[in-house]
A and B are shown apart, each in its own frame.
Chain A
Amino acid sequence: MIGAGLSELCNWLAATPLSQTIRAAGWIIPTLQTIHILSVAVVFSSAILVDLRIWRLLERDVPLGEITRRFLPTIWPVLFILLTTGSLLIVGEPRRSLLNSTFYFKMALLAVAIVLTVALQRSTSSSPSFWDGTRIRRIAGRFAASVSILVWCGILFAGRWIAYTQAG
């Protein structure tokens, strides 16, 4: 039932002039994917650098709050570029993602990553050394950082896997 509706939505999307334009010129999809991957590089690296700082693997002499202020705000505008290029890629080849469970897995992981990042940004903006405060907070911080690393890697793996699990 949902599958049939989605399939219809895909057919409708694929018939739009925008979708036809995106597919018509061979350079548009690789260009969108290149911008998408470069944006992933920025968001992913920003998150990983903060996670590594929580594990005290770099920039130990600066409070965590300064590191989150340096790297996390960048994530939001770049995430907007990701959503834009991602949406255009979906409009161009709707069946590739919308009928692909890997795509929904990627979006679910993205939701988790966004919640983690917002939580980190909020907690450290009000008190820069929040996650160094007590032993429990240090452990909780490292746990959250590890989850963040795994979730972001999962997003990148799922992104590559979409190409291998797309519907005929």
Chain B
Amino acid sequence: MLTLSEFISYFEDSALADNIRENDLLFPLIESVHVVSICLVVGSILVIDLRLLGLASLNRPVGRITNAILPLTWSAFAVAAASGLLLFISNATKYLENGYFLAKVLLICAAGLNMVVFHGISAKDLRRWENEAALPLPARLAGGLSILLWVAVVACGRWIGFTMQVH
């Protein structure tokens, strides 16, 4: 039986993790890619959230906006997750002991769940109301919750840097 800590240290002891830890350029470089991609994820989702809340892009149907924006959001999310994973394995044990890191992961899962609930349940009858400026309550709730969750994700991300010295 492989325990979680053995699993973690398998990655943490890898040559890749060692390189990210030891190389003076690699860590900030991956971090910068992480910041750029997170900014795109948060900024692009905000466009959708503000539309759902009835605060912006009101002359555009919701479906058109999500079709235009979500490919960018998902591409940026893939880059953010990959760069985040690389940063994580460089100091996995320390990250797992950090409350803000764990909170950040949970909040990202919550944001994902909020999105699944919206697209899977609340947006089932999207075609009926997507042209309105004021949307049904579940849509507005999804937009508001999404903003709160992503703000908290970014805050936790920044707090990790102040509560954990990796460099």
Contacts and interface: CB of A to CB of B under 8 A. Distances in A.
A107 interface: no
B35 A58 contact: no
Interface of A: 26, 29-31, 33-34, 37-38, 40-42, 44-46, 48-49, 52, 58-59, 70, 153, 156-157, 159-161, 163-164
B72 interface: yes
Contacts of B35: 37, 156, 159-160
Contacts of B56: 70
A156 B76 CA distance: 15
Most buried by B among A26, A40, A163: A40
B113 interface: no
Given A37-B158, A41-B154, A42-B46, A58 B39 contact: no
B40 A48 contact: yes
B78 interface: no
A36 to B, nearest CB: 9
The A interface, classified by DSSP as helix, strand, loop or mixed, is: helix
A38 B36 contact: no
B16 interface: no
Contacts of A40: 39
A138 B39 CA distance: 28
The majority secondary structure among interface residues of chain B is helix
Contacts of A58: 68-69, 71-72
A42 B71 CA distance: 17
B6 to A, nearest CB: 33
Contacts of A157: 32, 36
Interface string B47-84: 10000000011001000100011011000000000000
A37 B40 contact: no
A14 B15 CA distance: 42
